Amino acid sequence: MSQLQGEIISADAPLSNLGNYEEAYNNFKWEDVEKEFSWYQTGLINMAYEAIDRHVDLGKGGKIALRYSDASRDEAYTFQQMKDLSNQFTNVLRKHGISKGDRVFVFMPRSPELYVSMFGAIKAGAVVGPLFEAFMETAVKDRLEDSGAVAIVTTPALLGRVKIDELPLLKKIFLVGKDLEPIEGIIDYHAVMEQSSPEAEIEWVNREDGLILHYTSGSTGKPKGVYHVHNAMIQHYYTGKVVLDLKEDDVYWCTADPGWVTGTSYGMFAPWLLGVTNVIRGGRFSPSDWYNTIQSNKITVWYSAPTAFRMLMGAGQDVVEEYDLSSLRHVLSVGEPLNPEVVRWGLKVYGQRIHDTWWMTETGGQLICNYPSMPLKPGSMGKPVPGIQAAIIDDNGKVLPPHRMGNLAIRTPWPSMMRLIWNNAPKYEEYFRIPGWYISGDTAYMDEDGYFWFQGRIDDVINSSGERIGPFEVESKLLEHPAVAEAGVIGKPDPMRGEIIKAFISLMDGYAPSEELKAEIAKFVKEGLSAHAAPREIEFKDKLPKTRSGKIMRRVLKAWELNLPVGDLSTIED
C-alpha cells in the first residue's frame, strides 16, 4: 500500500510489468517489443489479427474479450466470437466493394456492433473513422466530406444527421437496428451479417498503411483528420503492458468513447493486443452506475479522466462506501490536468494512486506517464515512457534546463506518431517545424527528478471535460445564427470541467440582447454541431477586439474574462 510522504506518494507495485523505471528506460529497444508480435516471424501484418484472431490461434478463443452492458443489454463475447463477427463484417464490406485504404466511418453509441464493425473494417484494410454519437449534422458532414468516406455504419436514431444527399462519395450506409423497415439505398446491418460467412481472408498490410482517422480540433480552421497507421500497435501494446500494467487475468475498463482517441488506442487496441477482458459500459455518467460497473465486473484496471474523478469526488465518500471496489488495483487518468487534490482523494477513498498519463490524438499513444513502480508526485504527468525522449525546448529548439517553462516536445519518431493530417500537409508540418522534434502545443516544465508538469496550451484550443474544442468551429457555427454579427470563443476556467466554453458575441442591427436570445443561440450550436461544443456562457458586446486583418483577438477576450492585463495591442484594429 502506498503512502503519502510530503508531496510524493511512494510506489505501490514494484513487481509491476515495468519494474524499475530507470533500468527499463535505459535498456529499452523498440525491437524487443516488435519481437512480441506474430508478424515479427510471419511478416503478415494487421492490427485486427494481433488484437483478436491471434488469441484464438494461441488457444484462448474461449476467453471473454468483451463484456458489454448498458441500460438494456448485458452481453459477453469471446475472442472466438469477436473473430467470427468481425470476419463476417469484413465479408460484408468486401461484397459491397470496400477495399484497402477506403475510409469507413462508424457513427453510433457504444455497442458490440461498433467494435465488430471497426475490426471488420480494419481486417478489410480500410481506414476507420469513428465519430462521437453526440455530433450533429455539420460536425458529421465536415468529417465525412474531408475524409472522402465511402461507407458509414450508423443507427436509425443518428441516420438523420448524415446528409447523404450532400455527400456524393458516401455510397454505402449500414444501419444497425432491430426489425428495420426496408429503406431504399440503406443496408440492414443485421440482415447482411446473418448471410455472411465467419471465414475471411485478412487483408495483410504494411506497417505504414492506414488504420484510423481521428478528427480533432486546433485553434484555427475546421477539425483535422489525424491519420494513424498499423505500426501504432507497437506503442499500444507496449504502453498497455507497462503503463496500464495489464496482465492475463485483469478485467479492464476504459471509460472513454471510441469517438475520441483514448476510446480506441486504450479502449480497444491496447487491452485486446494484450488479450485482456475489456469491459465496455454504454450510457451516461452517473456515480452509482460507475461504481456498480466496477463492483459487478470486478474491474482491476480502470482508465478514466479528471472531470469524471472530480464529479465522483463531488458525489462524496458515502456513495463510494455503498460499493465494493476492492477488485481495483490500478487507476489511471488522461485528458486534462489531474489536480493534486483529486490524487489525494483517490488515495484516501479508493486506497489507490490515480496515475496521470499525458498524450494527444496526434501522438496516438501515451508518452509521459506515472507507473505503478515509480513514486508519484501529485500534479505531475510523470516521466517519459521508455523509448520516448521528451524535453522542454524554446522556440528555437534549444533544450531548457529543469524548472524552465517552454514547449513540451518529443524527439521524432515513435511508433504511434501520426503520419498525416488528412488533406492538410501544411498543418502537419507545423508540428515538426523544429527539426528533430514534435511540438505538442502544450507548455510544461521538468523538475530536477525528471518529472514533467503541465502548464497550459500555447494556442486557443479549449479543453472542457477532457474534450478538445476548437474555438474556430464554434465561432463558425455561431456566425450562422441570424442574430450574430461577430463571435469570439474562449475557454473559461471551471472547477469541475477544467474549462467551459464562453462566447463573446456582437449582435446584428435589429437584435436586442436578452437571456432568451442567449439560450436560443446556445441551442443553435448544440443542435447544429454538438452538445459539448455549445457555449455554456454567452456575453454580448457592442464590438469585439480585432486585428487590422479582421481576426478576433481571443487573447484579449480571455484577458477581459480573467481581469488580466491585455498585453500588446499594437495589431488591434482601433
Interface ranges with ligand PRX (CB under 6 A):
216, 261-262, 334-337, 356-361, 381, 440-442, 454, 457, 463, 468
Least distance in angstroms from the C-beta of 46 to ligand PRX: 24
Number of Cβ within a 10 Å radius of residue 28 = 16
Phi then psi dihedrals of residue 79, to 5 deg: -60, -40
DSSP summary character for residue 94: H
Q: Given the DSSP bridges, would you call strands 251-254 and 151-154 parallel, antiparallel or unpaired?
A: unpaired
Residue with smaller CB distance to ligand PRX, 200 or 305? 305
Residue with smaller CB distance to ligand PRX, 240 or 337? 337
CA atoms of 453 and 383, how far apart (whole Å)? 10
Within 72-223, strands assigned E span 74-78, 103-107, 127-131, 151-154, 172-175, 187-188, 210-216
Least distance in angstroms from the C-beta of 309 to ligand PRX: 12
Least distance in angstroms from the C-beta of 135 to ligand PRX: 15
Residue with smaller CB distance to ligand PRX, 337 or 406? 337
DSSP summary character for residue 542: S
State whether residue 574 is helix, strand or coil: coil
Residue with smaller CB distance to ligand PRX, 347 or 469? 469
CA atoms of 427 and 218, how far apart (whole Å)? 10
Residue with smaller CB distance to ligand PRX, 77 or 303? 303
Least distance in angstroms from the C-beta of 423 to ligand PRX: 19
Residue with smaller CB distance to ligand PRX, 90 or 357? 357
Torsion sign across C-alpha atoms 423, 425, 428, 430: negative
Residue with smaller CB distance to ligand PRX, 167 or 388? 388
Residue with smaller CB distance to ligand PRX, 224 or 502? 224
Long-range contacts, 442-446 (Cβ 8 Å, 24+): 442/358, 442/407, 442/408, 443/405, 443/406, 443/407, 443/408, 444/381, 444/392, 444/405, 444/406, 444/408, 445/392, 445/400, 445/402, 445/403, 445/404, 445/405, 445/406, 446/390, 446/391, 446/392, 446/402, 446/403
Least distance in angstroms from the C-beta of 540 to ligand PRX: 30
Residue with smaller CB distance to ligand PRX, 120 or 335? 335
Least distance in angstroms from the C-beta of 555 to ligand PRX: 17
CA atoms of 207 and 47, how far apart (whole Å)? 9
Residue with smaller CB distance to ligand PRX, 53 or 473? 473
- Give the dihedral of Cα atoms 102, 105, 110, 112; nearest 10 deg: -40
Least distance in angstroms from the C-beta of 132 to ligand PRX: 11
Angle formed by the axes of helices 340-349 and 306-315, nearest 10°: 50
Least distance in angstroms from the C-beta of 306 to ligand PRX: 8
DSSP, residue by residue, 209-222: SEEEEEEE--SSSS
- Beta strands across the sheet bearing 484-494: 484-494, 498-507, 537-540
Least distance in angstroms from the C-beta of 239 to ligand PRX: 12
Residue with smaller CB distance to ligand PRX, 126 or 261? 261
CA atoms of 500 and 316, how far apart (whole Å)? 23
State whether residue 311 is helix, strand or coil: helix
Least distance in angstroms from the C-beta of 282 to ligand PRX: 20
Least distance in angstroms from the C-beta of 202 to ligand PRX: 28
CA atoms of 135 and 122, how far apart (whole Å)? 23
Residue 140 corresponds to which cell in the numbers above?
Answer: 458529421
Residue with smaller CB distance to ligand PRX, 88 or 262? 262
Question: In the bound complex, which residue of the shown chain has the CB atom lying closest to ligand PRX?
Answer: 361
Q: Which helix (H) or strand (E) holds 5?
A: strand 4-5
Least distance in angstroms from the C-beta of 337 to ligand PRX: 4
Buried b / exposed e over 405-437, threshold 16 CB at 10 Å, is: ebbbbbeeebbbbbbbbbebeebbeebeebeeb
